[in-house]
Amino acid sequence: MSNQIQRKQYLAAYGFVVPFFIVFIAMLVVPLIFSGYLSFFVDRIIGGVSFVGFENYIRAFTDPAFLAGLGRTALILVIQVPIMLALALAFALALDSGRVRGSNILRLLIFVPYAVPGVVATLMWGYLYGGEFGLIAQMARGLGLPAPDLLSNETILFSIMNIVTWAFVGYNMVIIYSALKSIPAELYEAAEIDGASQWRVAWSVKIPAVRPAIMLTVIFSVIGSFQIFNEPSLLQPLAPTAINQSYTPNFYAYNLAFVNQDVNYAAAIAFLLGFIIMIVSYVVQLSTQRKERTA
Amino acid sequence: MTAPALPVPAADVVGKATKRKAYNRDNQRSAALTIVMWLAALYFVLPLLWLFIASTKNNSDLFSTFGLWFGNSFNLFTNIVDVFTVQDGIYARWAINTVLYAGTSAVGATLLATMAGYAFAKYRFPGGKLLFSITLGAIMIPLTALTIPTYLLFSQAGITNTPWAVIVPSLVSPFGVFLMRVYAADAIPDSLIEAARMDGASEVRIFWQVGLRLLGPGIITVLLFSLVATWNNYFLPLIMLNSGELLPLTVGLAQQQATSAAGGGAQALFSTVITGSFISIIPLIIAFLYLQRYWQTGLATGGVKG
């Protein structure tokens, strides 16, 4: 390739990439740096804005409100995410096995909640949970049981987990299902002819083959769990005692910035949150890569 | 939870399904599995059925009749009229805003992602690998963690409480770039680009006339999922906007709900909020159903490499 042609192609490539990176820098890199910058300052009533180094971060790690929110996120990560992804995987395998009648309709029905805005999903479940005209309370009463209080201190976290599960099982299922469909049939036809059971085929052939897709759903779920905001924010009026202003880290950052006007501390929390997500995602990826190597 | 913007690309669902059906021959359907799956589907469908039935009820039926069956009077049309007339019909305004914000953001984000993804797939250029790695790394940055600093920057520039404050941050879709790169790598043969070059077509023209045509299903997939991400976004407009007439449906409905939950004389709003919520979810559900052939094929090609 002559130099001139090569230069023309470089130019074209940069031309295609530059518009994306202009927005990328303006909307991603700059806010990230600005957030980091803000987090090193404190705005006091007496003395104004001053540089304090890592003080906001030290404050965060000794702030019981922030740590409690982080703890709730951890509970969601170890309880809700595995349940959601196990359901998504099970549904995807069942639909892919070709043994279910009406599997095309089923796939759409399970996916539909993804198209429902988080706000509407939360409002709707809020009504369903509620004591007044809530469906769950109505059903319990119809069976002669006491209506469960799904908005109490003890139950609200599970009520939130349920909303997230309802909304995202179908989305994760579609990702895994699409990957399952791309497995070359020869890979398991041989096993089927040899008389391997569907369970065995699923476990030894299909699941290993869609590991990258499962990985992606894990990473997205980790990111999503740390960003939970809609649910506590919209359920708070229904459960004012159960949901405090630091219920999840993201909700806390919002309240710090816009209710308490403590922008610097909010920036530190937001920055820290991003950092924690990167570490957790990285650890998740690393641990599965190691598993693959030993396998 | 915030929806991640895009799904992983994977197999050509339609094509594979037919090919496989031939093999799956007398494939014994399992009655037990079928029943279990349909029972499971109830969990996903019943809440939406409840929402529909509730939007046919007036307030007193809402409180006094069973949730999964119709009330004493069929009030759907009265409720719809209420939705569009309450507060001088601000709901229609919110709906237009939602379409405008989501439409502009989705088209913009898809265009940027398609150009970048195409370049990463089809050109070797200095720094290309590095830039692509940076983009991949950015998938993991939680966008909501950036929203507060973005708000502070925008408020200094004086563009908060304008449509731009919602649209511009939604234009960045690192995962869209990743998906388009994977899709373009498989969908556009290098030989076709070379042939077009031989014919003397410019690089830009090759992209518009050869690239875009072959990238169709990938583009629709990225478009649809960016549309959902913006349409359903609550956090960003909540922070950026404060004039009632600029709000999208998500924030508007949440405010209406807060007013009706605060109770008192505003009680009548319950059925309005429920009906408004129900109407707001119809367009996206139709879009997904109508375009399913495209996005299911668009989830095509090589996600397994992802």
Number of domains in chain B: 2
Last residue of a domain, one of B74, B99, B132: B74
pLDDT value, residue B13: 40
Instruction: Specify the pLDDT at position B296.
Output: 66
* Same-domain status, B48 and B151: no
pLDDT value at position A58? 93
Residues A253, B148: contact at Cβ < 8 Å?
Answer: yes
Q: pLDDT tens digit string along A245-257?
A: 999 999 999 999 8
Span of A89-103, A174-188, A219-233 with lowest mean pLDDT: A174-188
pLDDT at B295 over 80: no
Which residue ranges make up each domain of chain A?
A: 64-294
For residue B214, pLDDT beyond 50: yes
Q: Which residues pair with A41 in a beta bridge?
A: A51
ipTM: 0.88
Torsional class of B161: left (φ above 0), alpha (ψ -120 to 50), beta (otherwise): left
Same domain for B107 and B44, yes or no, is no
Nearest CB partner across the interface for A237, out of B2, B44, B258: B258
Residue B10 lies in a domain: no
- pLDDT greater than 80 at residue B27: no
Verify that B97 and B237 share a domain, yes or no.
yes
* Position B268 confidence tier, pLDDT thresholds 50, 70, 90: low
Task: Name which of A4-18, B5-19, B201-215 the model is least confident about.
Answer: B5-19
* pLDDT surpassing 60 at residue A294: no
In a domain, B79, yes or no: no
Report yes or no: B37 at the A interface, CB cutoff 8 Å. Answer: yes
In Å, how far from its chain's centre is CA A292? 24
Residue B167 contacts residue B104 (beta carbons within 8 Å): yes
Neighbours of A7 (CB within 10 A): 11
pLDDT (average), residues B50-68: 84
Quick one: pLDDT band at residue B10, thresholds 50, 70, 90? very low
The answer on pLDDT for B297 being more than 70 is no
For residue B2, the surrounding DSSP H or E stretch is none
B87-126: string of b/e by CB count within 10 Å (b at 16+)? eeebbebbbebbeebbebbbebbbbbbbbbbbbbbbbebe
| Set of chain B residues whose Cβ sits within 8 Å of the Cβ of A288 | none
pTM: 0.88
Flag the least confident range among A22-31, B69-78, B105-114: B69-78
- Considering chain B, what is the average pLDDT of its residues? 83
Whether residues B144 and B186 fall in one domain:
yes
| B95 shares a domain with B56 | no
Q: Does B203 touch chain A (CB under 8 A)?
A: yes
Quick one: A64-294 is in which CATH superfamily?
MetI-like (1.10.3720.10)
- Could you give the dihedral angle defined by the CA atoms of residues B117, A20, B94 and B92, in that order, rounded to the nearest 10 degrees? -60
Q: Comparing B210 with B105, which gets the higher pLDDT? A: B105
Q: What pLDDT, in 10s, does the model give residues B123-146?
A: 999 999 999 999 988 887 777 678
Say whether both B100 and B233 belong to one domain: yes
Same domain, B206 and B300: yes
Q: Are B210 and B276 found together in one domain?
A: yes
Q: Does B223 touch chain A (CB under 8 A)?
A: no
Is residue B185 situated within a structural domain? yes
Q: Which of A20, A157, A217 is the best mutation test for B, with the most CBs of B within 10 A?
A: A20
Q: HSE-up of B281 (CA within 13 Å, CB side)? A: 24
Q: Is the pLDDT of residue B265 over 70?
A: no
Q: What is the CATH number of the domain that holds B270?
A: 1.10.3720.10
- Which percentage of chain A shows pLDDT scores above 90? 43
Q: Residue A217: pLDDT above 70?
A: yes
Give CA separation, A119 vs B3, B85, B248, B274, B277, in Å.
12, 22, 12, 12, 9
pLDDT of residue B16: 43
Averaged pLDDT for residues A124-139: 84
Residues of A within 8 A of B234 (CB-CB) are 117-119, 229-230
Read off the DSSP letter of residue A98.
T
What pLDDT does residue B119 have? 95
**pLDDT above 50 (res B22):** no
Question: Who's near A174: CB < 8 A, 6+ residues apart?
Answer: A92, A107, A111, A114, B7, B299
Residues B274 and B188 placed together within one structural domain of the fold: yes
Across the A:B interface, residue pairs with CB atoms under 8 Å apart total 327
With a CB-CB cutoff of 8 Å, which residues 102-161 of chain A face chain B?
Answer: 102-103, 106, 108-120, 123-125, 127-128, 132-135, 138, 142
pLDDT surpasses 80 at B118: yes
Q: How confident is the model at residue B298 (pLDDT cuts 50, 70, 90)?
A: low
Residue A273: predicted pLDDT: 87
Has residue B80 been placed in a domain?
no
Residue B19 has pLDDT above 50, yes or no: no
In percent, the amount of chain B with pLDDT more than 90 equals 37
Q: What is the mean pLDDT of residues A55-82?
A: 94
What pLDDT, on a 0 to 100 scale, did the predictor assign at position B74? Answer: 85
Residue B14 lies in a domain: no
Does residue B15 belong to any structural domain of this protein?
no
CB B127 within 8 A of CB B133: no
- How does pLDDT run across B151-196, given as a tens digit for each residue? 989 998 999 999 999 999 999 999 899 889 988 888 888 888 888 8
Q: Which domain holds residue B66?
A: 31-74
Region of poorest pLDDT, from A11-20, A205-214, B94-103, B123-132: A205-214
Q: Is A178 within 8 Å of B8 when comparing Cβ atoms?
A: yes
Residues of chain A with Cβ-Cβ distance to B143 below 8 Å are 227
pLDDT at A72 over 60: yes
